[in-house]
Amino acid sequence: MPLTKEQKQKIVSDLKQSIEKKKSIVFLGFTGVDVKEMTEFREELKDNGNEVKVAKKSLMKIALEEKKIDFDPRKLEGEVAMVFGYEDEISPSKFSYNFSKKNDKVKILGGFLDNKFYEVNDIIKLAELPNKEQLLSIFVRTISAPATNLVGVLSGNTRKLVLALSQIRDQKA
């Protein structure tokens, strides 16, 4: 049954709200994916501050145009979903990439980051980057390494002195 004009306006309005809040968008082809798998994917996204929305490509185009994003999703093949990242830029790419590795019917079609369109290969490269927490821990380790090494070097002389004194004590005993 075709959608009414009011239903279409509601869908466009929802898409515009999501586009406004997003930090990034990934377009995902999901032709042939069963409802159970899509529901699991939707729940996993929701638990991590992301969301997936499915709509007709023509409605996606209207919402994107009204938000001043120059892209025509009608060029993309098959059924298309938009995965929105609200908390960080990389997680929609990561979750979409992991979902596509588990299910050969799912294909990453491209995405937006800072209102610039990126091709499939770029989105996959983003997905392979460490997440925010991992990057922060690498950064902290890198910053603290010189101080940790300095403490080790400075304590080395003290350790050697204590070792030498204990050997002298053991020889006298």
pLDDT by 10-residue block (mean), the chain, 173 residues? 84 90 91 89 90 91 89 88 90 91 91 88 89 84 85 81 84 75
pTM for this model (two decimals): 0.73
> What are the φ and ψ backbone dihedral angles of 27, each rounded to 5 degrees?
-90, 130
Res 78: pLDDT: 87
Tokens encoding 149:
């090494």
Q: Where are the domains of the chain?
A: 5-129, 131-173
> What are the φ and ψ backbone dihedral angles of 56, each rounded to 5 degrees?
-65, 145
- The class (CATH top level) of 5-129 is alpha beta
Res 173: pLDDT: 64
